[in-house]
């Protein structure tokens, strides 16, 4: 566990922020008037998490262990997203679980993984060598 804290400190901070934001009651603002703003926020939160995982992985490894990377940067964020949505639906009175939020979270993870593989990987490894 200590090894993960040392290798992925930014990712762990992003995970903690996502958990906090998922259970606090957001204030009403004028931004709520923008259609689908919460879905865009979900895409950004989980895309940010996944791209952070990709970047930290790429900086700390010289080869691509795709199975490990897919598990850590794709499957785990999606599973965390599902758990949070279920917990929001069952354990809170101020938040609700939403399948569309889950879909937005998955979209963010997939977009970030494409970005990580096709853009971050070549750039990081080019300057890392």
**59-113, pLDDT tens digit by residue?**
999 889 999 999 999 999 999 999 999 999 999 888 888 999 999 999 999 999 9
- Of the two residues 113 and 27, the one the predictor is more confident about is 113
Residues 85 and 101: beta-carbon distance below 8 Å: yes
pLDDT at 129: 67
pLDDT at 27: 83
Residues 6 or more apart whose CB falls under 8 angstroms from that of 72 comprise 53, 57
Task: Provide the pLDDT for residue 1.
Answer: 67
| Phi, psi (deg, nearest 5) at residue 65 | -95, 90
């Amino acid at each position: 566990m200590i090894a993960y804290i040392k290798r992925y400190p930014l990712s762990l901070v992003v995970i903690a922020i996502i958990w906090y934001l998922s259970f606090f009651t957001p204030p009403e603002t004028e931004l709520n008037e923008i259609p689908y703003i919460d879905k865009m926020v979900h895409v950004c939160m989980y895309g940010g998490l996944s791209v952070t995982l990709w970047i930290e992985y790429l900086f700390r490894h010289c080869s691509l262990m795709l199975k490990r990377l897919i598990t850590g940067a794709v499957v785990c964020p999606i599973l965390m997203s599902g758990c949070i949505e279920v917990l929001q639906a069952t354990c809170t009175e101020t938040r609700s679980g939403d399948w569309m939020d889950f879909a937005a979270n998955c979209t963010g993870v997939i977009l970030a993984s494409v970005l990580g593989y096709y853009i971050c990987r070549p750039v990081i490894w080019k300057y890392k060598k």
